[in-house]
Structure 1
Amino acid sequence: MATLQAPTPPRHIVPGDVVAAFSEYLGEWTAAQITHLDPDHQLAGVLHLDWSGPEPMSVADLGEVAPLSRTRGSFTGQPAHCHYEWVLRRSYKVIGTLPLLHEQPPNSYAFGWGMGLDLTLERRRQQGDESKWSDPWAKTITDTELNDPLAGPADPDEETRRLTVRAVQSLDCARLVERYPALTGLTLVGPVTLSTASSLNELTSLKHLMLSDVFGMTEADCLLPRRVPALESLELVSVPAEYATAMKRAWRPEEPQGVYLRIAKPRKPEWLAENLNNPLRDWDGREQISAAIYKKALAQYKATRRAVLAVLASGHSADVLTPRLVELGEQFGEAFNELDERAGFIETVEREDLYDALDAIITEAEAASGADLAWAGKGLTEGCESVRDW
C-alpha cells in the first residue's frame, strides 16, 4: 500500500536556507533564515536577521550575521522569529545555507513575511524614536474619501503603494488605476460591486491583491500573469465563482514561481441573486438588532423570495396565483410578528425596510419575466398588512 507523501512548499525551501529580499522600508536588502517547516499546516519558521545592505549574491556577502533581537514588549530579548505561510515569494531569493542560528521553533504566527519591517522598527527604537509606526506608503480610504477624488480630474498619486478600500458600495477600477497607478498592494473589503475590473491589469507593479466580498467581476476581468508579472500574493474570499475559477486557472501554475494563492467561498449565481442585493443588509450590525435576529430575518426573506419567484414562474393566471401570494404575504408578516415579539426591534425604519424587501422581490420577478406584476405585489403586500402587528 502506497504511503501518502507529505506536502512540500511550492517553491523549494528547507531549514537552513538563507533568504534575501529587498525592503522598501529600509531602502536596501535584508535577510532571514528558514528554521522549520510544518507540512501539516503548511507553515515555515522564519528567523529575521540583523542585517541589511546591497543585494547579496551569497551568504558570504552577509558577513557575520546574528538573529534580530526584539527590544520591546512581551518578546523583549527574544529573536524575531515567526511562523508564516510557507510560500517563498517570487521577489525573494535563496542565497545559500547556514547552520541553524536558532533551533527552537517559533511560538508566534503571522501572515506575510514582511521582510525588513521588524528590522526597521528596531532601528527606530535604537534611535530613540518611540512614536507609533505608520507605513509612509500605505493609505486606507472609505466611500467619501474615494469617490470625491475619483469623481473628477485629479493628479495621479504616485506616493501611495499600498491601498485599502473599505465601506464602498461601488467602485470604478479604471478610475482607481488612474488615481493610484503605482500600487504594489491593493485590498478591497466589501460588500462592493466593481466596474471595469479588468483595468486592474494596468497595475503592472502590483504584488499583493486581496478581495473580500467583492462582486461584479466576470471571467473576462481576470488578472493575467503576463500583465501583472510581479504579483506574488492573491487572496480571493467571497467573489463570483466565474471570476474565482478564471483566476485559479490563470494563477495556479504560478505557485511554483512564488505566488501565494488562496481562494475561498466562491459565490455561484444563485447565491449572488439571493444575497448581493439583500434589502435587509443594513440590519446587520444595527444597534437594536442582534446577530441572531438578523440571521433569522434574512432566512425568512430568502424563503419568501424563493417561494414568490417560484409561484410567479409557474405560468398560471393572476386569478390563480393571487390567493397564494396573499398567503405568502401573511406568512411573511406572521414570521416578523414572532421575531418582533421576541426582540421588539421593528420601528418605522424597519417596517419600511420590510415592505421594500417585498417590493424588491416583485421587481426582480418583473426584470426576469418582462411583465408588469403590480397585481402580484399588491397581493403580497395585502397579505402581510392583514396580519402584521408591527
Structure 2
Amino acid sequence: MLIITGVITPLVRALYDPSKKYMTYKRRTILQLKPNTELRLLACIHSGDHIPAMMSIVEVSNHTQQNPIGVYVLHLIELLGRSTTLLISHDERYKTPPSNLVSLSQRVVLAFRNYGKKYKDSLSVQSYTSISSYETMDDDVCTLALKKRVSLIIIPFYEKWAPLRSMNSNVLNKAPCSVAVTVDRGLLRSYKHATEFSVVVFFLGGADDRETLAYGTRMVGNVKVKLTVVRFLPYQKAWESQLDNIVMADFRVKTLGNERVTYREEVVMDGGKTVSVIRSMESDYQLIMVGRRHEEESPLIEGLLEWKNEETLLGPIGDYFASSDFQGSATVMVVQQQTNVVPGSSDDNLEDLIPLEIRASHDQEGGSRRVLIQKE
C-alpha cells in the first residue's frame, strides 16, 4: 500500500490539471464583448476598504440601459473552525442578510444591494460570501466566474500577505475570463461623488494591453470620464504589431471628435525611458490602467526584467506601480486578457473582432496612422 500510494499520488498530480475545468470554447473578454450587451463583472472583496473602491470602478465602467452591467460581488472570508467550505448566495428576496453572517459581510451585501437599487435600470447586483481556506479560495472565484459567464474578475492586490498573493496568482493562472488586479491607494474612492474621473491607459502592445484599451474605450461612454491613451512605440519599427495598429486605429475612429479623449505617442529606447515617461504623469490621474504581460524581448521593457523576481505578480510595468518607487496616489488596474481558451476553438481569432471597414482601410492604406489621417 505504501508503494502504491507513493506511486499513484505523484502520478495523479502530474496527469490531472484541475485548471482545465475552467477552460472555455468561447473567449470571455471585454474586447470580444458585442455592442449593447451586458458586461458581467466579478468583484472580489476581502476588507471593508475595498467596498468604495469597487463601487467607483463599477461607476466608471459605464452602466447604461443600452450597455448594462451585471455585478457579482464575492466577499472572501478565511475558513476558521470548519471542515467544509461554504459559498453563500444572498437572495434578493430577503430584506437583510442572514444574521449568522459576520458584520463585514452584512455591510458588503447591503452596500451593493442599495447601490444596485439606485441604478436598477442599468445595473444588476448579486452578492455571495465565500468561506474557505486561502489554498482553495481561488476555486470559488473561478467557479463563480465560469458559472455566471463573467467577462472580468476584479481582485485586490496584496503586497505583503503571502496566502492572498498566492490566491491572486492562482486566479490569474486559472480564470475562465479576463482578470484585473487593482492596487488601491485610496484616491479613487474619494471621487465617488466627483463630477470627473481622469483615466489613463498606458499601451505598450500585446493582448493584455488590447484588453485594457477595450475596457478604457467602454469607460468613455460615461460622461464623467476623461480618458488619456498613451501609446509607447520603440525606435525599431520592426517591433510594432500589426494587430496593435489595427486595434488602435479602431479605437481612434470610435472616439474621433470626442473632446474627453486624448491620444498621444511616446517613442522610447528602453524600459528605463518607458518608466520615466510614466513617472512624469503618475500624479495626473485617478485611475491608471495597463496590461500585465508584455513581450520579454520588447525594447519597451528592456532592462526592467532584470529587477524581476520569482514573486512578481503584476508584470514589469505593474510591479513598478505596486512598488515604493511609485509616488502617485491613483488606483492602478493591471489587466490580463483571458488565457484559458481551448486551443483551436472557433472564437480564438482576435482579428475577427476588428470592424470590416477598419481592416479594409488599414490594408489599402498600409497602416493605421494613414487611415487616421484619411478619416480625420
TM range (shorter): under 0.3
TM-score, scaled to structure 2: 0.24
